[in-house]
Amino acid sequence: MTPSPEIRPPTDTELIERWKAGDTRAATQLVGRHSQALARFAASSGEREGIEELVQDTFVRAFASLDSFRGESSLRTWLFTIERRLMLDRRRAERRSRETVPDEESDHVSEYGALDSLIAEEAQERVRRSLEALSPTQRDVFTLRVQQGLSYKEIAEILGTTEGAARVHYHNAIQTVKEFLRDE
Amino acid sequence: MNKCMELDLQEMLPDLLHRTLDSAARARVEAHVAECASCTEELKVLRTVASAAVFAPTIDVDRIVGHIAPYRPIAPVVQAPARSRVVSWLVAASMLVVIAGGGSLLMVQQRQPGARVAPTAVASHQVSTSSQSVAVKPPVTSVPVTRTLDQPIHTLALAPGVDGLSDGDLRQLMNDMDSFDALPTVEPEPVLSVDTGDNLDQGL
């Protein structure tokens, strides 16, 4: 009796090829594989609302331009790059609308409270506040490294910076978070 | 708390957390963490931060897939074959050579007196051919000059390069010079001084 061949899950590249060939289930697999990581990254980066829309926009854009994905990085890294650009666009747009309509500040506070109610445990609340003490770049580097487990090379690619700069940001971020949690 | 001195191992703590290290590296990092209080604390912080990420909303995969448009390959853009950079440079260089060459040729021609002499030469030609209208001059017996402007004109030796003239041309040149009426045919009259009487007072 010959042993059955080991069944391995298809790689991202294989799924992309299948989707291009018309297999919509491949798209479902790809979205299922990466959507939660994208949502976590968005939440860790300070997005408070519309995370699902953000993830959806990321996938829509990514699938629309899959021909430009050369496979030099992993698909997830590429998706993070797209998502981060979308987040930056959103923040710019929010900043502009806040400048023109200052009354929206009260809505912002209420959304903040909604998130607060979501975080039940005290330790996690402290972590959230410690992350808020970081600069946006430090926060992105830190969450990509700690929560997503990406390498400095991948982080540098997503942020459009160097590995050395990513290391420095991570080092400063971990010091800040440690001090914040120690003082609390 | 003492700082960790093994920075390369400390840097691998997130990789240890995500189990992305190979077995050898993992054993090294774990052994180090067991001895290092700083790394033990940092690993605890990392675990806390990593576990705090579970609060992202659950994503509806089918809804997202429903928004994804079916694949449409990007049609390759057909472009006219672009002229290569080498060809462009060659064209530019040859244009430059043509312009520079033409310019320097013009300058050389302007500097050569022979070129400016052309009208004079033509005039002299006219003189020699119309010499019959001048009564004082005998008919020219030399070879009639029937040159066009594009031919080199050696009728007058105003241009340098007499050495280049043939014997026939030199003879022609001498004949032409003989026939010039530029020199006066009579001696000038002597000039007599006129006493205006201005010196009379001095003599008195």
Overall number of domains in chain A: 2
For residue B127, the model assigns a pLDDT of: 44
In a domain, A4, yes or no: no
**C-alpha torsion angle, residues B47, A35, A157, A60 (rounded to 10):** -160
Based on the domain organization, do A111 and A142 belong to the same domain? no
Q: Is residue A103 predicted with pLDDT exceeding 80?
A: no
A134 and A111 housed in the same domain: no
Residues A25 and A55 in one domain: yes
Selected residue of B16, B19, B61, B62 to mutate for chain A interface (largest A Cβ count, 10 A): B61
Mean pLDDT of A106-133: 60
Low-confidence ranges of chain B (pLDDT < 70): 1, 53-55, 75-83, 112-163, 180-204
Interface of B with A in 61-90 (CB under 8 A): 61-65, 67-71, 73-74
Residue B156 is given by DSSP the state S
- Residue A130: what pLDDT? 87
Binned at pLDDT 50, 70 and 90, residue A34 comes out as very high
Gap between the Cα atoms of B15 and B26, Å rounded: 9
Which member of B42, B48, B60 has the closest CB to residue A174? B42
Domain boundary among A86, A118, A150: A118
- Among residues A118, A139, A165, the one where a domain terminates is A118
Contact B61 A31 (CB under 8 A): yes
Per-residue burial over A100-139, b = 16 or more CB atoms within 10 Å of its CB, e = otherwise: eeeeeeeeeeeeeeeeeeebeeeebbbbbebbeebeeebb
- Which residues in chain B are contacts of A142 at CB distance < 8 A? 49
Same domain, A65 and A114: yes
Q: Domain containing A71: what range?
A: 9-118
Q: Percent of chain A at pLDDT above 70?
A: 84
Q: Summarize the confidence of residues A40-68 as an average pLDDT.
A: 89
| Selected residues 112-141 of chain B with any CB under 8 Å from a CB in chain A | none
Name the domain boundary from A92, A118, A144. A118
By residue count, chain B amounts to 204
pLDDT in tens, B106-120: 888 877 655 444 444
pLDDT at site B150 = 52
For residue A3, is it within any domain? Answer: no
pLDDT in tens, B66-110: 999 888 877 666 666 666 778 888 888 889 898 988 888 888 887
User: What is the structure's pLDDT at A155?
Assistant: 94
Does ipTM top 0.85?
Answer: no
Say if A2 falls within a structural domain.
no
Non-local CB neighbours of B128 within 8 Å, separated by 6+ positions: B140, B145, B155, B176, B179
The domain that contains A102 carries what CATH number?
Answer: 1.10.1740.10
Tell me, what CATH number does A180's domain have?
1.10.10.10
In contact, A62 and A82? CB cutoff 8 Å: yes
Q: Answer whether B44 touches A (CB < 8 Å).
A: no
Shared domain check, A114 and A50: yes
The pLDDT of residue B184 is 58
Check: CB of residue A83 under 8 Å from CB of residue A112.
no
* Whether residue A88 is found in the same domain as residue A129: no
Q: Is the per-residue pLDDT at A61 higher than 60?
A: yes
